[in-house]
Amino acid sequence: MSHERLEHHEAEATDRAMFGFWLYLMTDLLMFAILFGVYAVLHGNAIGGEEGRHLFSLPLALTETLLLLTSSFTCGLGMIAARLGKKKQVLTWFGVTFVLGLAFLLLEIDEFVKLIDEGQTPQLNAFMSSFFTLLGTHGLHITIGLLWIAATLGYIMKRGLNHHMVRKLAMLSLFWHFLDIVWIFIFTIVYMGAFV
Amino acid sequence: MKELLIGKLTWESLPHQWWTIAGSLSFIFLGLIVAGILTYTKRWKWLWNEWLTSVDPKKIGIMYFIAGGGMLLRGGLDAVMLWLQQALSSGDSHGYLNAQHFQEIFTAHGNIMVFFVAMAFIFGLINYIVPLQIGARDLASPLMNTLGFWLFVGGIVMVNMFFFFGGEYAATGWLAVQPLAGAEFSPGAGVDYWVWSLMISGIGTTLGAINFIMTILKMRAPGMTLMKMPLFTWGSLYSMVMALTIFPLLSMTLFLVYFDRALGTHFFTTMGGGDPMLYTNLIWMWGHPEVYVLVIPAYGLFSEVVSTFSRKPIASYTSAVVGMFGVASLALSVWLHHFFTMGAGANVNAFFGVMTTFVAIPTAVLVFNWIATMYGGRIRFETPMLWFLGFGFVFALGGISGVMLAVPPVDFQLHNSLFLVAHFHSTVIGGVLFGIFCAISYWWPKFTGFRLNERLGRYAFWAWIIGFNLSFIPMYILGFMGASRRLDHYDAETGWQPLFILMFIGGLVIMLGVALQLAQIIASFIEKKRLRTNNDPWDGRSLEWAAASPPSFYNFTTIPHAATRDAYWAIKKSHNRKTQYEDIHMPKSTGVGIYISLFATLASFAFVWHIIWLIVVSILGIIVTFIVRAFDENTEYTIPAAKVKKMEEARAKKEKAGPAIENNDYDEDMGLWELIKVILGFILGLLRNRGWRRWRA
């Protein structure tokens, strides 16, 4: 097979993979849609517990939001570097993304622990069940994203920045931005919604 | 300590009722037979390399058929048990099943028939046929395909696992009515098995949907625009888009059910502010479109069969495409008709009633397409066409009763009655199952290189049609008389027993049909030399008939150019078929699908029994396997053009050396008596030559 046709074959494969990844993101978005719907139906049922306005802290949620938005920005910078083939910059920017994501995750876990200490457990009532499930699912996605960043960076250090890696990074950055968008909805509906 | 090691499992979980002992023993027995044959013929390696790790969509398709066929027998056995109980259990007699067991059986029957029979065959057909029809060599993501298949197998394992551990399946209806299916009212492992078997097979379906959408939209042969695609491909595309839209809903809903049961959350409970009706909405938002996921590919298939056997292009192709689109899109906004009696209010009920009635319009468009295609055509009444006509009759029954049920005031009378049960069996058996039978008799020559025994096929068809009407027409009548569904016992003075007995007899006739189908397949294998066909036995129109029968693993030597609709018909007419050999890229076989699915099944089992360490280990297993595979850059290989040429020439030589192809000698096809004689002769020969003497010595 000629070199040219092989390249064409690879380009087509990348194109398909990106399209498939978009489709996957749509399915994930639908899963979140269900959780948002469930939260919308059940968030008033705070039986035996506090309402959201007495539980949530807007400054904390804003900090989390800013961490995640900044991580999306650095993730974008890393992607630009990847397209230009600058390995060192890729490692730096995705490294910063990883740290910011981890900080977000720790803050979220801290919030969960505090709530549970106050007796506001997922088992308490339907409001808490839907709150923990919605945010927990998002947190789980962030965890998977962090694992993914770590694995990709590890392989890039070992093998260098080839086109397979750029494809992986492109998907990773889509995934990361997607989580950011979901978080914006969480921030708006769950946190700001509680204080309306 | 024990809790840590084996979670909630106890000695009581092992089989001890007659049905769990019988069930687990028969699975063990079957497994031993298969293992024995494989060891005797030294085929373990062959099985692993050629089938289990294969990423060839054709082989995966056939594995779907085998799994689906097995599950059809398993679910059919459930059906006969239900019919028999209802025929016996009137007045003083309470039949042979207790209420709990009866409920478990109808739950399992529903789950198995929808998830592991209908879905299996539809996915098998799409796997096998769609790449051929669009002129592709494989799927967009071969790995996702094998993973999806093995997750589906994991689902089968989980749905049958209760025979071995736990001894009870969910007794909550096929969609696990809440709050009945919550931890409070169903504390056993049955509902957890239900959750996890649907969970992993559902995730497999989502993966399959992504994969087929990618394949259909991105990998069509040059020249094949969307509006030149064969209608089965259109139907598959719509079906997969619907699956992509609804299966995430199912997965998430199942997670919530599991959280309620295992973690004590309050989504669908009656306490703590939970809302059972929320569950009913969520599950039917998935559940209603699900049946359309199954039936729309069948619509596409029937369009092709009618067109082929009438020797005419489909009448008004565009309206068929639009009609299927209409059905697919309307189907997403009718779910509330499953619970008009919930009391959502007159306006909501009216909206969903009207939307449901609207579904009849695009469906009728399709029916008129088929009629217009047959009009003036030279129709050949071979088995695929017979199944189509059977579908027309049975599906019309189901459609008309469906429109009746769509009217809320009527539904208040018929809700949860046997009328409803008869309605959806008419649509699912008539639409989906007959579609599957039609597809198998139509494409069998493509799968194997020989056609099916026509005579036994006709017998089987008539047994099915007669059996179906014998068992389901009385069911409609019983529904009108007030018999509710899921009855394990009824009073003698209702006077229903004769009709229930008639239903049971009808069920036996259906079983006869299934037996005849098995006989048909066996007879065809025995006679396969005489039934040999070329690549195009029906004078077909779409590209799958351009490939050899059975197709080589790379499908096409040269990717065909699809200049028109009915692309192969045009190619045949132009007599311009020259072969060019080129390098072919193919994906390598991989065991990753099996490994991940094995871990997923173990994880599901651990989730059912709350075995924490196993959950952790299996999920780590999934993650590690996934990462290793995701960064494997060496997943394809190239077959050089010279080698392709050699293989093609070898095949042509072999075909020439074989017996001459005779196509349409249906009168000579083996009948039932001849088949029995052949089988008896074979067994006698076996006994005389080897086994008998060895056994005596």
- What pLDDT, in 10s, does the model give residues A76-112? 999 999 999 999 999 999 999 999 999 999 999 999 9
Q: What tokens appear for A36 in the block?
A: 């948002």
Place of tokens 């351009």: B546
Of the two residues A59 and A13, the one the predictor is more confident about is A59
C-alpha–C-alpha distance, residues B338 and B345, integer Å: 14
Q: Cis before residue B142, ω within 30 degrees of 0?
A: no
Residue B679's pLDDT is 87
List, as ranges, residues 458-477 from B with C-beta within 8 Å of A: none
Question: Nearest-CA residue of chain B relative to A156?
Answer: B631
pLDDT(B74) > 90: yes
Question: Nearest-CA residue of chain A relative to B219?
Answer: A16
Which residue stretches of chain A are H helix?
3-42, 52-55, 58-84, 87-117, 126-159, 163-186, 193-194
Q: Which chain B residues are within 8 Å of A34, Cβ to Cβ?
A: 248-249, 252-253, 282
Q: Does the CB of B273 have a partner CB in chain A at under 8 Å?
A: yes
Q: Which chain B residues are within 8 Å of A164, Cβ to Cβ?
A: 631, 633
Place of tokens 């020969």: B685
Q: Which chain A residues are within 8 Å of B265, Cβ to Cβ?
A: 122-123, 129, 132-133
C-alpha–C-alpha distance, residues A170 and A83, integer Å: 9
**What's the DSSP call for residue A118?**
T
Residue B691's pLDDT is 55
Q: What is the ipTM of this complex?
A: 0.95
Q: Which chain A residues are within 8 Å of B211, Cβ to Cβ?
A: 20
Residue B651's pLDDT is 83
Residue B498's pLDDT is 94
C-alpha–C-alpha distance, residues B169 and B638, integer Å: 48
pLDDT(B370) > 70: yes
Tell me the per-residue pLDDT of B288-342, one tens digit each, with 9 for 90 and over. 999 999 999 999 999 999 999 999 999 999 999 999 999 999 999 999 999 999 8
Q: Which chain B residues are within 8 Å of A125, Cβ to Cβ?
A: 266, 272-273
Strand partners, B636: B587
Residue A12's pLDDT is 84
Residue A2's pLDDT is 58
Q: Does the CB of B264 have a partner CB in chain A at under 8 Å?
A: yes
Q: Are residues A122 and B263, on separate chains, in Cβ contact within 8 Å? A: yes
Question: Nearest-CA residue of chain A relative to B270?
Answer: A126
Confidence label for B532 from pLDDT (cuts 50, 70 and 90): confident
In Å, how far is B686's CA from the nearest CA of chain A? 52
Spell out the long-range contacts of B444-448 with Cβ–Cβ below 8 A and sequence spacing 24 or more: B444/B524, B445/B533, B445/B537, B445/B538, B445/B549, B446/B128, B446/B129, B446/B132, B446/B535, B446/B544, B446/B545, B446/B547, B446/B549, B446/B550, B446/B551, B447/B58, B447/B62, B447/B128, B447/B549, B447/B550, B448/B528, B448/B549, B448/B550
Q: What tokens appear for A97 in the block?
A: 């993304």
Which has the closest alpha carbon to B154: B605, B689, B618, B633? B605
Confidence label for B286 from pLDDT (cuts 50, 70 and 90): very high
In Å, how far is B430's CA from the nearest CA of chain A? 31
A129: nearest CB among B244, B253, B265 = B265
Question: Pairing state of beta strands B584-587 and B636-639?
Answer: antiparallel
Question: For the residues A10-39, what does the mean pLDDT come to?
Answer: 93
**What's the DSSP call for residue B141?**
-
Q: How many beta-carbon contacts under 8 Å exist across A and B?
A: 114
Question: Nearest-CA residue of chain A relative to B262?
Answer: A123
- List the single range of A16-25, B208-217, B664-673 with lowest mean pLDDT: B664-673
Q: Residue B584: enclosing H or E segment and its boundaries?
A: strand B584-587
pLDDT(B1) > 80: no
3-state secondary structure of A93: helix
Q: Does the CB of B649 have a partner CB in chain A at under 8 Å?
A: no
A126: nearest CB among B219, B249, B266 = B266
> Which residue, among A14, A36, A129, A138, would best test binding to B if mutated, counting the most B CBs under 10 Å from its CB?
A129
Identity at A53, one-letter amino acid code: R
pLDDT(B548) > 90: no
Q: Which chain B residues are within 8 Å of A132, Cβ to Cβ?
A: 265
Q: Which chain A residues are within 8 Å of B206, Cβ to Cβ?
A: 27
Residue B344's pLDDT is 86
pLDDT(B464) > 70: yes
Q: Are residues A45 and B282, on separate chains, in Cβ contact within 8 Å? A: no
Tell me the per-residue pLDDT of B414-457, one tens digit each, with 9 for 90 and over. 999 999 999 999 999 999 999 999 999 999 999 998 989 999 99
Question: Nearest-CA residue of chain A relative to B274?
Answer: A126
B218: nearest CB among A19, A24, A47 = A19
CA A134 to chain centre: 13
Residue B468's pLDDT is 96
Residue pair B418/B483 in contact by the 8 Å Cβ criterion: yes
C-alpha–C-alpha distance, residues B92 and B277, integer Å: 37
Q: What tokens appear for B458 in the block?
A: 């006709």
Question: Nearest-CA residue of chain B relative to A162?
Answer: B633
C-alpha to C-alpha distances, B485 to B174, B414, B481, B573, nearest whole angstrom: 13, 10, 12, 55
Q: Residue B69: enclosing H or E segment and its boundaries?
A: helix B57-88
Q: What tokens appear for A184 in the block?
A: 């914006």
Q: Does the CB of B342 have a partner CB in chain A at under 8 Å?
A: no
Confidence label for B219 from pLDDT (cuts 50, 70 and 90): very high
C-alpha–C-alpha distance, residues A156 and A154, integer Å: 5
B638: nearest CB among A1, A20, A23 = A1
Q: Are residues A45 and B273, on separate chains, in Cβ contact within 8 Å? A: yes
C-alpha to C-alpha distances, B692 to B33, B678, B683, B684, B687, nearest whole angstrom: 19, 19, 10, 9, 4
C-alpha–C-alpha distance, residues B123 and B64, integer Å: 7
Question: For the residues B180-197, what does the mean pLDDT come to?
Answer: 93
What predicted TM-score, i.e. pTM, was given to this entire model? Answer: 0.94
Residue B433's pLDDT is 96
Q: Are residues B273 and A126, on separate chains, in Cβ contact within 8 Å? A: yes
Which has the closest alpha carbon to A165: A93, A74, A99, A83? A83
Q: Which chain A residues are within 8 Å of B140, Cβ to Cβ?
A: 16, 20
Q: Are residues A34 and B249, on separate chains, in Cβ contact within 8 Å? A: yes
Tell me the per-residue pLDDT of B641-655, one tens digit each, with 9 for 90 and over. 888 888 888 888 877
Residue B659's pLDDT is 62
Residue B663's pLDDT is 57
Q: Does the CB of B145 have a partner CB in chain A at under 8 Å?
A: no
Strand partners, B639: B584
In Å, how far is B44's CA from the nearest CA of chain A? 34
Of the two residues B531 and B389, the one the predictor is more confident about is B389
Please give the domain boundaries of chain A with CATH numbers for all domains: 14-194 (1.20.120.80)
Sign of CA dihedral A16, A18, A19, A25: positive
Question: For the residues B22-38, what does the mean pLDDT come to?
Answer: 93
Mean model confidence pLDDT for chain B:
91
C-alpha–C-alpha distance, residues B593 and B235, integer Å: 27
Residue A1's pLDDT is 46
Residue pair B260/B329 in contact by the 8 Å Cβ criterion: no
The percent of residues above 90 in pLDDT, for chain B, comes to 72
B249: nearest CB among A26, A30, A125 = A30
User: Using beta carbons and an 8 Å cutoff, which residues of A are at the interface with B?
Assistant: 1, 5, 9, 12, 15-17, 19-20, 23-24, 26-28, 30-31, 34-35, 38, 41-42, 45-48, 122-127, 129-130, 132-133, 147, 151, 155, 162, 164, 168
Q: Are residues A123 and B263, on separate chains, in Cβ contact within 8 Å? A: yes
Q: Residue B580: enclosing H or E segment and its boundaries?
A: none
Residue pair B398/B430 in contact by the 8 Å Cβ criterion: yes
> Which residue, among B145, B213, B214, would best test binding to A if mutated, counting the most A CBs under 10 Å from its CB?
B214
The percent of residues above 70 in pLDDT, for chain B, comes to 97
